[in-house]
């Protein structure tokens, strides 16, 4: 494996960069959609059951199936891969955002309102800080899922480390195949560790701010 990487450093690092870029774009879009939508659903509970039902349907669809569904809709390449990964990572963060916000102790919220807090102040100073542990757990889960599933983007021309695996399988180049597989595993583990650390730091600081 290391011999192959040393012999093909450009191919390997381009694949790593493409994998990270695809994953980062998908995760950013997931956060842009899930966080405000989760907040909105807590204010409009009637819409919540429908939205949660839809995202639960998404959770049952395998990541490879989502990628294949994108083929007739968007073709091949970066865009359909990113869209499929967004759909794959969205349920975890949306559900955690909604759950975290709805499980905030209502007595604390009512006490804040009794002190004259506006709705915006209650949301930013009470609800979001207290819900951060659950929300960040959703971000971490979505990030790991996206990084792992991005491997399959190679099947529709999305690039990334999956290309090393598919090329290695096609050419019976096992060092290349193992290099891609191990890199994906290490990348997913690294993302888990980084986001777990961020979760602890952000949760600690947010709770101090809320107190």
Model confidence over 158-189: pLDDT tens digits?
Answer: 888 999 999 888 888 888 899 989 999 999 99
Question: What pLDDT, in 10s, does the model give residues 181-210?
Answer: 999 999 999 999 998 888 777 766 655 555
Give the integer Cα–Cα distance in Å for 44 and 37: 10
Q: Is 118 exposed, middle or buried (0-12, 13-18, 19+ CB in 10 A)?
A: exposed
pLDDT at res. 147: 93
Q: Is the dihedral of CA 196, 198, 204, 210 positive or negative?
A: negative
Instruction: Show the tokens assigned to 129.
Output: 């800080």
Query: Considering the chain, what percentage of its residues have pLDDT values greater than 90?
Result: 35
Question: What pLDDT, in 10s, does the model give residues 54-98?
Answer: 888 877 888 888 888 888 888 888 999 999 999 999 999 999 999
List of domains in the chain? 25-159+185-210 (1.10.3720.10)
pTM as predicted: 0.87
Question: What pLDDT, in 10s, does the model give residues 23-54?
Answer: 999 999 999 999 999 888 888 777 878 888 88
Q: What is the mean pLDDT of residues 120-128?
A: 79
pLDDT at res. 132: 86
Q: Is the dihedral of CA 65, 66, 68, 73 positive or negative?
A: positive
Query: Which residue blocks in the chain are alpha helix, DSSP H?
Result: 2-7, 9-43, 45-60, 63-74, 78-102, 106-114, 119-122, 128-149, 162-170, 174-210
Give the integer Cα–Cα distance in Å for 104 and 101: 6
- Confidence check: pLDDT of 140 > 80: yes
């Amino acid at each position: 494996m290391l011999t192959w990487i040393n012999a093909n450093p450009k191919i390997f690092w381009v694949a790593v960069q493409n994998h990270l870029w695809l994953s980062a774009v998908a995760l950013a879009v997931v956060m842009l959609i899930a966080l405000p939508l989760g907040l909105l659903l807590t204010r409009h509970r009637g819409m919540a059951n429908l939205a949660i039902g839809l995202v639960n349907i998404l959770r049952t669809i395998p990541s490879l199936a989502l990628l294949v569904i994108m083929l007739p809709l968007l073709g091949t390449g970066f865009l359909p891969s990113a869209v499929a990964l967004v759909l794959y990572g969205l349920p975890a963060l949306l559900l955690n955002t909604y759950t975290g916000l709805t499980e905030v102790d209502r007595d604390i919220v009512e006490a804040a309102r009794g002190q004259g807090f506006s709705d915006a102040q209650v949301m930013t100073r009470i609800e979001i800080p207290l819900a951060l542990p659950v929300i960040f757990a959703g971000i971490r889960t979505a990030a790991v899922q996206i990084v792992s599933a991005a491997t399959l983007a190679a099947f529709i021309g999305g690039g990334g480390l999956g290309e090393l695996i598919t090329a290695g399988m096609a050419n019976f180049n096992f060092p290349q195949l193992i290099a891609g597989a191990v890199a994906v595993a290490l990348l997913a583990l690294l993302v888990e560790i980084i986001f777990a650390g961020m979760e602890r730091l952000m949760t600690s600081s947010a709770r101090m701010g809320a107190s």
